Structure 1
Amino acid sequence: MKPPSFAYASPSTLAEAVNLLASGNGNAKLISGGQSLMPMLAFRLATPDLLVDLKHLKDLDTITIGDDGVRLGAKVRWCDIENDRRLVRSHPLLAEAIKHVAHYQVRNRGTIGGSLAHADPSAEMPGVALTCDGEMTIVGSGGTRVEKASSFFTGPLQTSLEPDEIVTELHLPAWPATRRWAFREFARRKGDFAMAGVLLFYDLDHRNCAVDAHIGAIGIADCPIRLSAAEAALNGNAVTEDCIAAVAAAAKESIDPPSDIHAPGGYRRALLGTLLARGLQHSTS
């Protein structure tokens, strides 16, 4: 199908882009990589009156690594992350998760800002942002604000963004070199959206027990979620086989995945438990 008709604008400044969004009265859409929006336009799932292209905006495509962590501009593409070898050490969970994003053609065009704003519950980037205590810098008519990922994602393809707001940056806190971590997801075919996925990390205390455990999941709820019961089962314990079994059991008991054409909810629950157990086993090696 062909997309619906719309007006098109390509601003050269962030302020101009915000003003264009505001003038759209809720019927304007941003486009950067376009890997989610273009199919939605083709299927008439999105019918904006105005398309605001961010391609001429500068200073939104940089990756900055410092003492406070990693800062990713909203126009940073998946391939930019893949090609930045600094991230393998500075944020290995991010680097690993991006390997699973769609196919290389999509990774050559898709952007982190687009993924965060699109908020697909099976997508990797929202899962990374939530699990890693990410914070988004957001610019709109009311000025600039910073919002934690824990409140940014509100439902399937839904966020706290106002119609005139733009995500400009994602900040991920500093990553200790000794941190244990893992990423696991399962899809029917490589590049498909995950039927379930797990992101996790934890640190070790002087007793060699897990502390500050963060366990996130994608593909099993309306938006990415943190598995607080599983985190509680992991914190304060040595990561043994018995501990791993208990953490996986706690995770499965705490979720109620939906059923759809791809898999029943019970399958997704069992799949998540298996992915979590395998991720924890990998994190100890």
Structure 2
Amino acid sequence: MLDVLHPARTAGGIFDRLDVEWAALCADAAVQAAVTDWLVTDRLADDVAAVTDAVTDTWVRTLGPAQLLAALRPRDGAMTDALADAVLRAVLRRAAGRDRSAVLAARIVVQAMIPAAVRMTRGQVRPFGGRSFDDVGHMTVAALFEVARSGRIHTRPGRPAANLVLDTLRHVCAELAADREERGAGLALAEDLADTELGPAEMAEAWAIRTAATAAGLQPVGAMSEAETSRARLELLELVLDAMDTGALSPADGRAIAWHYTAAPVPDAEAASRAGTTAGAWQRRRSRAVARLKSSLQPRPAA
């Protein structure tokens, strides 16, 4: 199996190699049996078989990694289907384990997320002085594998694919930033010559934050377009997402903040109606949520 933390280079690049290896995995009878057992155990076999034209019963089992990938990439790769979310969460739970099947599960997650990984990689390749596409691709795949193994994603609210992208992008941006520091001031000075608009890294991170926020229900209906989303709004959404991830805020708390602090806030009466409560109760929830968010941002004393 591919060591995604230290992948070897090939003429076709990391993503070509992943596709070649995937074909070998799909042809492996042991891998197919393992995937079938997972889906049966997680009670997803019938649903996956229904959307992939596979057959499952006590005698015939034709579910394998190919069918699993088809379920994870519905609608031309847009991971928005409820079944795709359920299957991805199940695979992520297995990827968080400590046995060999966890490594296989994480490898399947990587394959499912290749379209997003390619987009992230393209967004981080700089036109001057930076790493090559294949270098950043290796970095992105390794970060995606580590995030899948972390055990953090499947417990979050919202769509797991969006959360995977956001965490992976954070890892990649942090590593690239550290790399630029090591290269010295020359590259930093060159980057300062660029215009003041968002660069590729910032645009990619902004897209990831908006995607995760939308999946978590933090973007109200009729929210601003990408071009109209301010840096302050993105920073707020990121803070709320982080607080929800750590448990400092509930999903309802997050919405109470995010729906109010925007250029076009949702009126309290409308927000309360959506949440099935009163305007007064919604205002009190927001007040408490803001206090909890502020508290979560306070530096903790050293142990």
TM-based fold match above 0.5:
no
Greater share of helix: 2
Greater share of strand: 1
Larger-gyration structure (1/2) = 2
TM-score scaled by length of structure 2: 0.29
TM-score scaled by length of structure 1: 0.30
Higher relative contact order (CA 8 A, sep 6+): 1
